[in-house]
Structure 1
Amino acid sequence: MIPRPWSYNLLKLKLPSAIEHYRPRFFHSHQVIMSQPNGTPSMDLNAARLNLFKSVQLDVITPTQAADNEASRKRISRTFTSDTLTVPTPEMQAYAIQASIGDDVYDDSTTKALEASIARLTGKEAAIFMPSGTMSNQIGLRTHLKQPPYSVLCDHRAHIYKYEAGGTAFHSGAQVIPVIPRNRHHLTLDDVKDHVILGTDFHYAPTDVIELENTLNGTIIPQSDIIEISTFAHSKGIAMHLDGARIWHVAAETGLPIDELCAPFDSVSLCFSKGLGAPVGSILVGTSAFIAQARRFRKLFGGGMRQIGPLAASAAYAVTNHIKLLPGVHALTRRLEKGLEEIGCEITSRAETCMVFFDATPVGVSLDEIISRAEALPNPIQLLGSRLVVHIQTSQEAVEDLLTVIRTLAEEKRAAGFVKLEKKEEDGVYVYKDVYVRKGRNL
């Protein structure tokens, strides 16, 4: 006689009356999804599935989507908020749809081709695609930082310090040392030597990484200064990381090859969406060993992605076709700067690439007045603050219209009796003025 399973014998035991009473309820949900003896689903299951399928009928494309997209393109051409607002062109979208459909966590041919191409372009051994510039920077830093305590030295305006939600402290447990450059433009070797933490004094967190950003607020760090800082850093065993989100602008303005711009750094983060018009994505480059470890951190940070071939293809299209447009962007930015100066505005940070920072209070006009008047135009202009960003989809008409708004406001103030105050210089005293003032704060 074959012994029956213990569970069968257990079920033969008499259950207490209370449990016996509720027994049908215990097994009800199981019975609903049981199949009929012939293997077909029960009527209850068919009904449940039908309700489920009805509930997931999603239509996120509106009937007017094509017209809405065209309106968005026109709006972006009159927006000076950021170059992250650039959008894919129809040509980019047509190219992207031809991409591979592999899995980037394992193997996607289009993404691998992009990574190999950018590695060659930057003169590095390997690269890894990232969903954002913030993740690319943060994983770059985390990969360099081995054993705390440690610190990261950077410009006080750096994205990793001001605009990445405290990520360097949160993800890497690193102290950030923000430095104000004495020349009011960019960090030099003297600035670094004044603030770098060396030695074995256990009161301090040694500097393990020096991070530079090029461009920074649209300005270019001279390559000679970068090389000096890098030579010093490497002599002290300190890694160099570049936030090169807009390094394309540096290359377009100076004519220097991208691999030469990246050579002094152990790792570089480059962005495809800022100014180049790709929908999303950045890339981190470095040695093969560095990128292998960064790939592990990307998984840990939740940045591993699946079928991203179309994103990688969009990035490749942007680099190939849109870098050549950047000199025109720089010329249009300088036109905007010249117009602001002619009106009487103060230029608080000069137009070296795609940004100009200004202060209209010398002509009696507040930032909020400019924003309100620009938004009230029949064809509105959008700006967020004192930083004006020109990009590959900014129209010449938008630049002239914005200058007209500011000029008209200045003339109204002058007609109302505004008199410009003479500015007194304080010799030998440098009080940093934040050139980036946003809506809601007076300049």
Structure 2
Amino acid sequence: MSSSIEEKRAQIASLVKFDILTESQTADNERSIRDVSRTFISDTITVPTREMYEYAVQASIGDAVYHEPSTIALEAHMAKLTGKEAALFMPSGTMSNQIALRSHLTQPPYSVLCDYRAHINKYEAGGTAFHSGAHTVPIIPSNGHHLTLKDVKEFVVIGDDVHLAPTRVIELENTLNGSIFPQDEIIRISEFAHGKEINMHLDGARIWHVAAETGTSLEELCEPFDSVSLCFSKGLGAPIGSCLVGSHEFIKRAKWFRKLFGGGMRQTGAIAACAAYALTHNFSKLPAVHALAGKLEKGMREIGVDILGPAETCMVFYDPTPIGVDYNEIAQRAEQLPEPLKLGGSRLVVHIQTTELAIDDFLRVLRDLAKEKRAAGFIYHEPNGVVNGSGHYKDIYIRRK
């Protein structure tokens, strides 16, 4: 009997075994790093460096649901950095945002007011409705750039009209599509909101870019908000994680919801250490990222494409139709390079692992395509509607929204 059991255990063990590494794993990883340096799709695709991993393996090995020293230290640092009472480490920015909203929203009916482009409105799978049962009121900024107090006052719901869902949270995003939200306008909105007993939440996934570009401290940027979500895996290049900050009472409630949502984690020391390494070593790289994005924008303007969203930080939005090219043509040509570029439509994202050569190669692709189109007889239109070099034809260019 004993022998039979041992044989069965051995059979199960043989089935359980699994080697996730390929025979060429080292080479595969090196190739992936090169690919990342030439990818403009997002900054979420950055990869940890060997130095980051070497630092991470030294972290504590506690259980984060009970007591994990490295994670607790990171949370304490984040609270101090942002000027808040407490912080909570989260697996993702989406969870951080959604738990923040759920922790603010106590008893329906209620609504959340935000920019129509906000991540919570467009890219979190309807989580605000699902998790919090809240109505979202998305607003198109009247100035085309950021919400103003005037916009907020126009759509905020205050009072006890039974037909309406009162505004309980105003959610802002900084940066939003790479653009910086003016701090003075944030303060005006915050003062109004708090005067009406409305909570303020900031999706600060890329708030690091704002601090790096403007020289404004994280504490000052976060001060107008009751809660802030800050991401480690975008601009800072950590493999995973975000942090939610707020008052002691708010974070206590958020921790309960994190557990309810399935976000209670165990040995998080290693990923908390990656975040700490990113804060220490990668934040200082962001000004160089912004300079590369500026070079990208300048080069595209010189070629003649229309810039829909300038490089305020790490993103540029563009429309190539004035030079007779579409996004698919650009992507196909970029993919055919000896070292391919990966693109994602109108948005170009520069990150800490983007190389200057990748910028140069992308501009060369645009320049070559524009030259080919002109040789084929395409009439090149400046974004302002004047034909390049001829002056005898005017085109009305409709800006892509």
* TM-score bracket, shorter-length normalisation: over 0.9
Residues 198-347 of structure 1 mapped to structure 2, 5 A cutoff: 198-347=158-307
Distance, in Å, in 2 between the alignment partners of 1:276 and 1:72 is 18
**Paired residue secondary structure (2:186):** helix
Say which is worse superposed, 54-63 or 90-99, in terms of deviation: 54-63
SS of equivalent to 1:84: coil
- Structure 1 position 189 matched with structure 2 position 140: no
Helix, strand or coil at the partner of 1:391: coil
2: CA distance between counterparts of 1:411 and 1:420?
10
Alpha-carbon distance in 2 for matches of 1:432, 1:367: 16
State the Cα distance separating 1:423 from its structure 2 match: 6.7
Aligned to 1:73: 33
Tell me how far 1:43 sits from its aligned partner: 2.5
1:198-255 Cα distance to aligned partner (Å, 9 max, x none): 1110100000000000000000001000000000000000000000000000000000
Give 1:277 shift.
1.1
**8 Å Cα contact 2:309-2:317 kept in structure 1:** yes
- 2:345 corresponding residue in structure 1: 385
Superposed CA deviations along residues 131-169 of structure 1, whole A, max 9, x for unmatched, are: 000000000000000111110000010000000000001
Distance in structure 1 (CA, Å) of the matches to 2:137 and 2:106: 18
String of CA shifts for 1:98-120, please: whole Å, max 9, x gaps: 00000000000000000000000
Unpaired segments ≥5 residues, structure 2: 386-397
Which residue number corresponds to residue 392 of structure 2? none
The DSSP-based 3-state class of the residue aligned with 1:85 is coil
Query: How far apart are residue 69 of structure 1 and its match?
Result: 1.0
Change (3 A) 1:256 1:422: closer
Secondary structure of the residue aligned to 2:87 is strand
Aligned length: 389
Match of 1:156 in 2: 116
Q: For 1:66-95, what per-residue CA distance to the aligned partner results, in whole angstroms no more than 9, with x for missing partners?
A: 111111111100000000011111111110
**Cα pair 2:236 2:279 within 8 Å, conserved:** yes
Matched ranges for 1:38-49 at <5 A: 42-49=2-9
The answer as to 2:87 corresponding to 1:110 is no
Task: Kindly report structure 1 stretches of 4+ aligned residues shifted beyond 2 Å.
Answer: 41-44, 420-425, 431-434
Cα distance change, pair 203–433 in 1 and its aligned pair in 2 (3 A): farther
| Inter-partner Cα distance in structure 2 for 1:246 and 1:216 | 8
Match for residue 315 of structure 2? 355
Residue 42 of structure 1: how far off its partner (Å): 2.3
TM-score by length of 2: 0.95
Q: 1:432 to 1:106 in 2, by over 3 A?
A: farther
CA distance in 2, matches of 1:122, 1:102: 25
Q: Distance in 2 between matches of 1:304 and 1:137?
A: 16
The residue type equivalent to 1:75 in the other structure is D
Unaligned runs of 5+ in 1: 1-40, 426-430, 435-443
C-alpha separation between the residues in 2 aligned to 1:422 and 1:112? 55
Change (3 A) 1:433 1:169: farther
Task: In structure 2, give the amino acid aligned to 1:165.
Answer: A
| 1:271 Cα deviation after fit | 0.3
Q: Does 1:141 align with 2:110?
A: no
User: Deviations 1:4-61 (Å, cap 9, x if unpaired)?
Assistant: xxxxxxxxxxxxxxxxxxxxxxxxxxxxxxxxxxxxx623212211111111111111
Counterpart residue number, 2:395: none
Q: Deviations over 1:384-426 (max 9, x none)?
A: 111000000000000000000011111111111111357789x
Write out aligned runs for 1:45-64 (5 A).
45-64=5-24
The amino acid of 2:159's aligned partner reads G
TM-score by length of 1: 0.86
Which letter maps to 2:276?
A: A
Cα distance, 1:130 vs structure 2: 0.4
2:205 maps to amino acid: A
Q: Is the 8 A contact 2:235 2:352 kept in 1?
A: yes
Corresponding position of 1:428: none
1:406 alignment counterpart? 366
Identical amino acids, percent of aligned pairs: 65
SS state of the match for residue 282, structure 2?
A: helix
Partner secondary structure for residue 226 of structure 1: helix
> Hey, what's the Cα distance between the residues in 2 that align with 1:286 and 1:131?
17
The residue aligned with 2:325 is 365
- Measure the CA separation in 1 of the matches of 2:119 and 2:3: 59
Residue identity opposite 1:44 in structure 2:
S
Pick the structure with greater CA Rg: 1
CA contact (8 A) 2:305 2:383 kept: no
Q: 1: distance between equivalents of 2:43 and 2:132?
A: 29
